[in-house]
Amino acid sequence: MNVNWKGVIPAITTKFNLDDTIDYTFYADHCRWMVDAGCIGLVPLGSLGEGSTLSFDEKVTLLKTALAAVGERVPIIPGIAALSTKEAVRLAQTAQELGCSGLMVLPPYVYSSDWREMKAHVDAILNATELPALLYNNPPAYKTDFLPEQIAELAHEHSNLQAVKESSTDVRRVTAIRALLGERLDILVGVDDAIVEGIQAGAVGWIAGLVNAFPRESVELFELAVQVREGQGNRARLEELYNWFLPLLRMDTVPKFVQLIKLAQEFVGMGSAQVRGPRLELTGAELETARSTIQYALEHKPTIQA
């Protein structure tokens, strides 16, 4: 299946049972809920999916689950992250063998490196399969930064590098990458609270987090932002929806974003706040603040257009 990067693609969460095993039945239902709401693909095994806590076998089973649930409807694009380049290559090749449509390629986990080593890691993954790939740049989280010039170098050397998930939090990166590469790479926003600004700067897609709890709202927000950029949309409606959504979207940009987004899922009845160690569920003032924010949003949610 060809990958269309122009739309909302959830970085899907992983629900755990009380005994810390994975709830694969819910995972399949969650995949279907995202796609039914208008999402155009899914990214399992990402940071929001707590990929760093999953065993290789669990990752394989999650990919099989997503493929069985919605693989005939949308592309499955797993996050490729590992402690070693060898393991990342193995996961990329396994994803291709299983029938995944693309890859989201992360820099080396834990080891924050220089460009020479970062490039060697990404080169190895991109050379290991024929799948189209999305490069994930998130310097706040991974302490490595793929500069626009470096992204351009990778794009010139790898035809299967089709897109970049830009999570530097600086929307100027969108225009900088476009200035170097034009339409060669699709640029996707990777931080929820910059989605409208990113679309206005020229991004064409959104690897989204709060979509896990609010899929229809996320899809409408994205579509409105694109329409307004093209001079055809309802700006007042976009501002109304974005202003309502922003307190929730900001939950995607803090260290405990996994706990916050899974808590939001629990509030809407589509998931559990349970996380896998070393993460712990929110408590005390953190929990009360988050609960208040989510509850206020639910009580003041605008009507979503069909």
Domain boundaries, the chain: 8-235
Q: Which of 24, 136, 142, 262 is catalytic?
A: 136
Judge contact between 210 and 236, C-beta under 8 A. no
DSSP H helices in the chain: 24-36, 56-70, 85-98, 115-128, 139-142, 148-157, 172-181, 195-201, 215-229, 235-249, 257-267, 284-299
| CA distance linking residue 175 with residue 156, whole number of Å | 18
Supply the pLDDT for residue 108.
Answer: 84
Specify the pTM: 0.97
- CA distances in angstroms from 175 to 32, 187, 188, 202, 262, listed in the order given: 34, 10, 12, 7, 32
* pLDDT computed for residue 252 by the predictor: 96
Peptide bond into 278 cis (omega under 30): yes
C-alpha closest to that of 124 among 97, 87, 96:
87
Please tell me the distance from the alpha carbon of residue 254 to that of residue 260, in angstroms, as a whole number. Answer: 9
Residue 226's region, left for phi above 0, alpha for psi from -120 to 50, else beta, is alpha
Residues of the chain with pLDDT under 50: none
CATH of domain 8-235: 3.20.20.70
What is the rounded average pLDDT for all residues in the chain? 96
Q: Which residues in 163-194 are b (16+ Cβ under 10 Å) and which e?
A: bbbbbbeebebbebbbebbeeebbbbbbbbbb
Per annotation, catalytic residue among 165, 242, 256, 296: 165
Residue 185 pairs in a beta bridge with none
Start-to-end CA distance of the chain, whole Å, equals 27
Q: Is 165 a catalytic residue?
A: yes
Tell me: is residue 77 an annotated ligand-binding position.
Answer: no
- Per the DSSP assignment, residues forming a β-bridge with 163 are 134, 186
- DSSP codes of every residue in 38-106: T---BB-SSTTTTGGGS-HHHHHHHHHHHHHHHTTTS-B--EE--SSHHHHHHHHHHHHHHT---EEEP
Residues 6+ apart with CB under 8 A from 211: 8, 10, 34, 39, 218, 219
| CA neighbor of 144 nearest in space, from 107, 103, 95, 105 | 107
For residue range 95-128, what is the model confidence (pLDDT) as tens digits? 999 999 999 999 988 888 899 999 999 999 999 9
Q: What is the pLDDT of residue 84?
A: 95
Interhelix angle 148-157/115-128, nearest 10 degrees = 30
Per-residue tokens: 205: 């897609």
Q: Please tell me the predicted confidence (pLDDT) of residue 25.
A: 98
CA distance 239 to 279: 34
